Amino acid sequence: MTKDRSISKDNPTNMQQDEQLPETYENDGVNPDHLLTFAGTAEDFSKLLTTGTYESFENRVFLCGSCACGKSTLASVLIGSPIPLTWKSTDGLVIHFGRNGINLETFEMVPLQGEGRGQNVLTKVVIGKPTRETSTCFSSDTNLDQHISPSPMETDNPYSSRQPIKKEASYSTRVSQSTEACLTESLNLLETNTITSERKKTTSISLPKMKKIEAYAVHDDILNEVKSGQYKMKIAPSDLVDFGGQRSYDMTHQLFVQHGGTFVVMFDGSRDFHEPLREYTTGDISNESIVRHWVNSILTYCVDDSAVMPKILFAATHSDHLSEDMQMKMKTKFGKKVFEMFGAHERNKHFVFDPIFFINGTDKDDQEIQNLKNQLVSIARNQPSWGLRRPMIWVPLELLITNMKKDNVNFVLKTHLAEANKMNGDLALSEKQLDEFLLTQHALGKIMYFNQPELNNFIILYPPALVNILRSFITDDIFWPEDDILRNILRRMTDTGKIYRTDLLKIWQQKRFNNHFPDDDIKKFVIQVLVHLDVLVLPKRYSANSDTQVDYFLVPCTVKHRMPMSFLDDKSFSNRTISLVYRLQKSSIPSALSFKLIGAISGIWPIKEMNDCPLLYHSSAVLCVDGQTELRIIVEDKRVIIYLIHELSKHFISPNIAASIQECLTFTLEAVLTFYLSSIGKSYRKTNVSNLFQIEIGEICDRSPCVVSISKAVNASNWVCDKGIHHDTKCSRLWFFNKAQKECPSSCT
């Protein structure tokens, strides 16, 4: 069947929540950095494991690629939903929690619906052959301390053949019972200031109306099976992420690109690989550029050479547009092209070059889709994290959080969650353990928690809620609201990179965002988070009134216009400029990183304005240093290019200013890289991020930076570039303090 590609202007709610479970990997009490994401130390994690463990079978699949290539269609097949036959562009991203799974007996990938995907936390505990030491938990039902002994339990999966031990309760049973008992009081603490939002087009349930924990408990029939040791669970639920194809979402996507998982990079196989895609109005985006963009975005932050994950597969779509003979020819052609692009990549062990899949997403029985699913299962089973053990003591909080999300609770005060934790008796985490738990779940993309002043009051339980908020103003113009006033606000923002606070609040007054912002505290918190992420930037003022409150934000990731390069034609430019280049060692710079870098830098130096319009461009900006000096930053491919320009001559550039700017820029770049490393579910504590790039300094030569290594500039008075031009290193060395010089030289005036 051929899919109709007509564009729908509908903007449905895409965030679909189907319980989710945090994931942390451990093996026999050992905490190898390449396997485990944990915010604490190996010793801390080992202590957690002494309270009991179970095996974890976690998996996550990402679908990414160009617009209209069939990502959402494939997602529908994988989760068992009706296959859409009309293209509706995805606004942002869709996360299907627990809608897909792997059968642990047959090792088939299957869709999960209804009750089959019901008890995610408990399901994974049962699958994971739980063990538990004797412990005490206060029961609100009996007001007595209940002493529980550990017991393995029989499950209907190939990893377990243990029999129930007489007179000993299964720990999975105890988790359910004690959670129900111990969390009853906890939820009462959550009745105040707990934020809910509309999801699945249903009315949000307000927690003050919830009087008993039964609403969060597992079904009685499942509990009875667990108690009898006969609970048969065969499916390990996994998560599926469907990324929208518009470049408008690059910043949003990068916040959710997890280091552990399998990426299916998709493209329309009925089109030539170099053909400009009509869905992108710039005319310079093709299958090739989109595929390269996604690979760079995925692998930029893979700094551990020993890491096995992530894995990258390639899938062409719309095979039904071609004859069988042509399909085979194109499949071979695509394989050669992909290998030509990435066969020599320094991270090529992350690629699966053979086979390249050529699917028909409108046919749920398509053999190529079945082959793709088999490959996804094989990768999941062979990832180092598969079957590793995780702490049982986390289960009560995981269950509480999961059930709160089922009731559309997006935000919760940390103090309320902490009080709920205290009610878990011997399963309660210490304050330090609670922070480690939250930070670990944040690194895994399960929640969002920022342990910083003014940000650590709230926990975002459901990360896609932030996506819903982000896409209120970071979205493609096909999703702009019909209201002319709001459209003008968004148009001005994309033209100038500037949005007034009052205009942002006006956008959030739309009915579809009401439930995200029940009070001003949440709006304030969300704005603080977006500023922390450099999505919104508080502009630096360069004026006598710099301390006055700024009434607008800069939004670098929404600007589409590129910086005019005509300034390079000015014959005096090279005489007034010194250049600095940061060159990433192994990968190109994803646009999301450039947005954050420019956002962070524009919070340090003010963006220069002309005719009340900030000189902020796509991946570039012009900034003010002082009345006579300006700074230009341009991010392209593997380079961050910096120009420091004096209005008269480069010889008048202050050494202190130049060196201070360099140190500040270097620190900011390292901070941005560290931020993303800590956001993608990967341990980075042993990584020196300064090793990810090298610094070169120099001048302007033939409309481009002519640079050399620092050591060469320091040890020589001049160098000869590839064009045969002699360059003096005196001005270039201004980028670095001469720390050996104790006082000004005699020539100093």
| Phi, psi torsion values for 625, nearest 5 degrees | -105, -55
Q: What angle do CA 163, 164, 170 make, to 5 degrees?
A: 135
Four-CA torsion 498, 504, 506, 511, nearest 10 degrees: 130
Instruction: Report the pLDDT averaged over residues 249-268.
Output: 75
pLDDT at 302 over 90: no
| Phi, psi torsion values for 54, nearest 5 degrees | -150, 160
- Percent of residues, the chain, with pLDDT higher than 70: 70
Rounded Cα distance between 522 and 504, Å, is 14
Question: What is the pLDDT confidence band of residue 357, given thresholds at 50, 70 and 90?
Answer: very high
pLDDT score recorded for residue 56: 77
Instruction: Report the pLDDT averaged over residues 125-134.
Output: 52
DSSP string for 395-461? HHHHHHHHHHHHTTEEEEEHHHHHHHHHTTGGGPPPHHHHHHHHHHHHHTTSSB---STTTTTEEES
pLDDT score recorded for residue 202: 41
Rounded Cα distance between 417 and 397, Å, is 8
* Answer CATH for 58-110+236-386 from 3.40.50.300, 3.30.300.30, 3.40.640.10, 3.40.50.720: 3.40.50.300
Cα 607 to chain center, whole Å?
27
Instruction: Report the pLDDT averaged over residues 359-383.
Output: 95
Q: Tell me which residue has tokens 């692009």.
A: 341
pLDDT at 439 over 70: yes
CB of 111 closer than 8 Å to CB of 79: yes
The 3-state DSSP class for residue 431 equals: helix
pLDDT score recorded for residue 246: 59
Strands (E), 299-352: 311-317
How many CB atoms are located within 10 Å of the residue 643 CB? 20
**b/e per residue 685-702 (b: at least 16 CB within 10 A):** eebebeebbebbbbbbbe
Kindly tell me the burial class for residue 83, based on how many C-beta atoms sit within 10 Å of its own C-beta (0-12, 13-18, 19 or more): middle
Amino acid code (one letter) for 662? Q
Q: What angle do CA 221, 225, 230 make, to 5 degrees?
A: 155
Which of 14-18, 333-337, 395-399 has the least mean pLDDT?
14-18
Q: Of 227 and 478, which is predicted with more confidence?
A: 478
Rounded Cα distance between 138 and 127, Å, is 26
Average pLDDT value for the chain = 75
Q: Tell me which residue has tokens 């707990």.
A: 194
Q: Of 407 and 581, which is predicted with more confidence?
A: 581
- Which pair of structure tokens corresponds to residue 110? 């299957």
Question: What is the pLDDT confidence band of residue 695, given thresholds at 50, 70 and 90?
Answer: very high
**pTM (2 decimals)?**
0.71
CATH of span 556-735: 3.30.310.200
Q: How far is CA 137 from CA 87, 144, 151, in A?
A: 53, 9, 17
| Phi, psi torsion values for 170, nearest 5 degrees | -60, 140
Residue ranges covered by each domain of the chain? 58-110+236-386, 556-735
pLDDT at 184 over 50: no
Instruction: Report the pLDDT averaged over residues 449-477.
Output: 86
- HSE at residue 657, side-chain half, CA atoms within 13 A, is 19
Question: What is the pLDDT confidence band of residue 336, given thresholds at 50, 70 and 90?
Answer: very high
Cα 234 to chain center, whole Å?
30
How many CB atoms are located within 10 Å of the residue 114 CB? 7
* Whole-angstrom Cα Rg for the chain: 28
**b/e per residue 173-182 (b: at least 16 CB within 10 A):** bbbbbbbbbb
